[in-house]
Amino acid sequence: MFILVLGSVLALMHLYVWKRLVKDTTRPGRTRWSLSALVGALALLLVGTLFVPRVFGVTESGWLAWPGYLWFGLLVYLFLASLVLEPVRLALRRRFARAPRVASPVSAASPEVTADLATDADPVVDRRLFLARTAAVTAGVAAVGITGFGAARAVGPPDLLRVPVRLPRLDPAFNGFRVAVVSDIHLGPLLGRAHTERIVRIINEAEPDLVAVVGDLVDGTVEELGSAAEPLQDLQPRDGVFFVTGNHEYFVDDTAAWMRELERFGLNVLRNENTRIRRGGAAFDLAGVNDLAGESRSDPPDYDRALAGVNPGGPAILLAHQPVQVTEAADRGVDLQLSGHTHGGQMWPFHYAVELAQPSLAGLSQVRDTQLYVTRGAGFWGPPVRVGAPPDISVLTLEGGLGD
């Protein structure tokens, strides 16, 4: 169903872009045929980008993924820019249509010649072509500029955000305790080992006490991407690195193989379980639940199991990939949930759609007595473009007590 819906949407977007940027801007002939063939070839490129990695493997398809996904991003903004210009185009077209016609010399020619040349000589048609070409150039310049900016932001280094978080039940012994939160790294055909190495370097330089990797690490198998994830073993927090699954971990055939590989790298995988973090005689509980997508693999989130045995008088922090899971966390008295998944919307204006499905797009918010922190993620999925949603790695500094 997802493939059917996505394919239908992409087909309609290509058709609309072809209509506005090719058919409306050219007269019948070689130029229109050539540009139509180019749009068709780009559509096939995008189809290949989406399906070739499934056939030939993730690491072997990078040569196709880069141009294909960049075209995906450009297509989105060509479509949106053309839609934005639609009211202006229609208003000007009506105005041109009401303008007085100027007598054309072809009107004195034979009916056959008049029929052949009417299109070229009709001032209304000329005005419409001028208007269509102006709109197409405007949309093209805007789309290229936005996509270029978004691509530079997506492939550049993630922002390092430092966020203070007060937990009333946290023992003062943990004041200043730093938790690095990273999510949605999305190793795959576009992001590899160098991406992981940069993330590890940024996190280590921040000197956190604990690292939480909250899902969507990979888009491929261990055989394809194990070496790309390997630098995670160089993370050096005092109290360990913890991982919970995201929905993309269940898109691969063998989720368990990845869990074993991450444990080999020194990550503590929390699959509906918890552990206790100590500072002398003080402690807080850190729990992790599987992603909602685990239900399709008989590996669903189990909140009661994940929180079994936690200290009811002390704070509990829950790692859960999707922010929407905070409802279950709040029902069970969790103090803080750390999540990702949203990418902050990744490409404006899609954050409006994400906000319909999730309780928070990014940052710190409150759901009843539970605080929710959502990172925008350090990678991207699909188009290597981020507009209005820069990538980030967040370092939360915990403070205990009620404060002033």
Mean pLDDT over 28-40 rounds to: 95
Mean pLDDT over 187-192 rounds to: 94
| Residue for token pair 């989105």 | 76
Q: 184 near 340, Cβ under 8 Å?
A: yes
Q: Report pLDDT for 116.
A: 42
In whole numbers, what is the pLDDT of the chain averaged over residues?
90
Q: Within the chain, which residue ranges are assigned CATH 3.60.21.10?
A: 159-400
Q: Report pLDDT for 53.
A: 74
Confidence category of residue 108, pLDDT binned at 50, 70, 90: very low
Render pLDDT for 276-332 as a digit per residue (tens, 0 to 9): 999 988 999 999 999 999 999 999 999 999 999 999 989 999 999 999 999 999 999
Q: Which of these, 162, 15, 72, 82, lies nearest to 346 by C-alpha position?
A: 72
Q: Report pLDDT for 99.
A: 60
In DSSP terms, 212 is beta-bridged to: 181, 242
pLDDT at 123 over 70: no
Mean pLDDT over 55-84 rounds to: 89
Instruction: Kindly report the backbone phi and psi dihedral angles of residue 123, in degrees, each rounded to the nearest multiple of 5, phi listed first.
Output: -65, -30
* Side-chain-side CA neighbours of residue 371 (13 Å): 17
* Side-chain-side CA neighbours of residue 302 (13 Å): 11
Q: Report pLDDT for 113.
A: 41
Provide the angle, in degrees to the nearest 10, between the axes of the packed helices 111-121 and 123-155: 40
pLDDT at 31 over 60: yes
Give the DSSP per-residue string, 98-114: HSPPPP-GGGGS-HHHH
Q: Which of 57-61, 95-99, 169-173 ranks highest by mean pLDDT? A: 169-173
Longest dimension (CA), the chain: 102
Mean pLDDT over 41-62 rounds to: 82
Confidence category of residue 348, pLDDT binned at 50, 70, 90: very high
Q: Report the alpha-carbon distance of residue 349 to residue 345 in Å, rounded.
A: 8
Positive or negative: CA dihedral 24, 123, 137, 90:
negative
Percent of the chain with pLDDT over 70: 90
Q: Report the alpha-carbon distance of residue 237 to residue 316 in Å, rounded.
A: 20
pLDDT at 176 over 90: yes
Q: Report pLDDT for 117.
A: 38
Confidence category of residue 6, pLDDT binned at 50, 70, 90: confident
pLDDT at 100 over 90: no
Mean pLDDT over 389-400 rounds to: 97
Q: At the topology level of CATH, where does 159-400 sit?
A: Purple Acid Phosphatase; chain A, domain 2 (3.60.21)
Q: Report the alpha-carbon distance of residue 275 to residue 318 in Å, rounded.
A: 11
- Where is average pLDDT lowest: 17-26, 114-123, 170-179, 271-280? 114-123
Q: Which of these, 317, 352, 310, 356, lies nearest to 337 by C-alpha position?
A: 317
